[in-house]
Amino acid sequence: MKVGYVSTNYSLCKADSTFRLSSLSRERVLKTAISNLECLKRILLWNLDHEILFFRISSNTVPFASHPKVTFDWREELSSLLGEAGDVVRENGIRISMHPGQYVVINSQRRDVVESSIAELRYHADLLDAMEVEGRIQVHVGGSFGGKVEALRRFETNFSLLPDNVKRRLVIENDDRIFTVKDCLSLFTSLNVPVVLDNLHQSLNNDGETFGEALDMVRRTWKERPMIDYSTQEGSKRGVHASTLDENHFREFIKSVDDVDIMLEIRDKERSALRAVEILREMGKLDRIKNRG
DNA sequence: TGAAGTCAAGGCGCG
DNA sequence: CGCGCCTTGACTTCA
């Protein structure tokens, strides 16, 4: 199994810097993106030294890349840095995901929202294409306007509008209020899109199945090893991610799963990832680094 | 330099 | 019907 964390590394550098739309300029986008990509490469190398082989790249890497005001070719300008980061990923068997924000709503009933969602997804896929890596792009189903059945149908309809490089990379995650694992599985049946299982969301929003049953079901949607999101809740605040790894919970959790890669959605990022690596190693469940025996 | 004010975007729940 | 919430909240301006 591999363990990963999200977007940036607090002890190393910031890979998710952005700025205000009001200060948008070609120079500002490039300056920030260069700094984010240099940091990303440092993080990936640092992660290798610490046996962390899964990483979620920030959607902020190239700020405003999908905004209509960004008309220049950022891929061209950033190609060598994108290539360098991609080399680190490929040469070491690192697994990559991305998770666009709440404004990507594929099943929106508003045409303008669908269009901007497609643009944002295209940016994510283009970034991974430019890095020449096999990364997954993880989204939620979206809103429930008109009822869940209608909303799922709208997702299926709008899915056909996505560019091929997005379709190939897209995976769907169960959410904590509306769309359960079972709902996501119905989209796998119609669209062949794998399902990312989030344990915290599944515990808050399910159809009576256990976590183990949910995992068995989503496993069948993946050709490669399933990705799962792992978190626990911070106190009694519904859906709020823990500030740090609950080691006892994690240990028990790990006993119940095999053959998955685990993305930690824990707020202290690399700190918890280091602890999780230790625990997996202890339990003999940690993937070794490619080409290093 | 610290604090206050503002931020691209959607959708939902709550009052 | 308008507002706050999603977030280790962060950027930017103002004093």
Kindly report, residue by residue over A212-241, the tens digit of the pLDDT: 999 999 999 999 999 999 988 876 667 677
Q: What is the DSSP letter of A287?
A: P
A143 sits within 7 Å of strand B by its CB: yes
A147 sits within 7 Å of strand B by its CB: no
Beta bridge pairs of residue A138: A171
Å separating the CA of residue A187 from the C1' of nucleotide C8: 33
What is the distance between the alpha carbons of residues A229 and A105, in angstroms, rounded to a whole number? 20
pLDDT category of residue A276 using cuts at 50, 70 and 90? very high
Q: Is residue A11 scored above 90 in pLDDT?
A: no
Q: Could you tell me which of A247, A243, A251, A174 has the C-alpha nearest to residue A214? A: A174
Nearest nucleotide, CA A146 to C1':
B11
Nearest nucleotide, CA A269 to C1':
C8
A112 sits within 7 Å of strand B by its CB: yes
Buried/exposed A86-114: b ≥16 CB within 10 Å, e otherwise: bebbeebebbbbbbbeeebbbbbeeeebb
pLDDT category of residue A10 using cuts at 50, 70 and 90? confident
Question: Can you give the pTM of this predicted structure?
Answer: 0.95
pLDDT category of residue A80 using cuts at 50, 70 and 90? very high
Q: Is residue A287 scored above 70 in pLDDT?
A: yes
Nearest nucleotide, CA A32 to C1':
C11
- Please tell us whether the domain made up of A3-282 is placed in CATH 3.30.2350.10: no
A164 sits within 7 Å of strand B by its CB: no
What is the distance between the alpha carbons of residues A189 and A195, in angstroms, rounded to a whole number? 11
Q: Could you tell me the residue ranges of all domains in chain A?
A: 3-282
Nearest nucleotide, CA A101 to C1':
B9
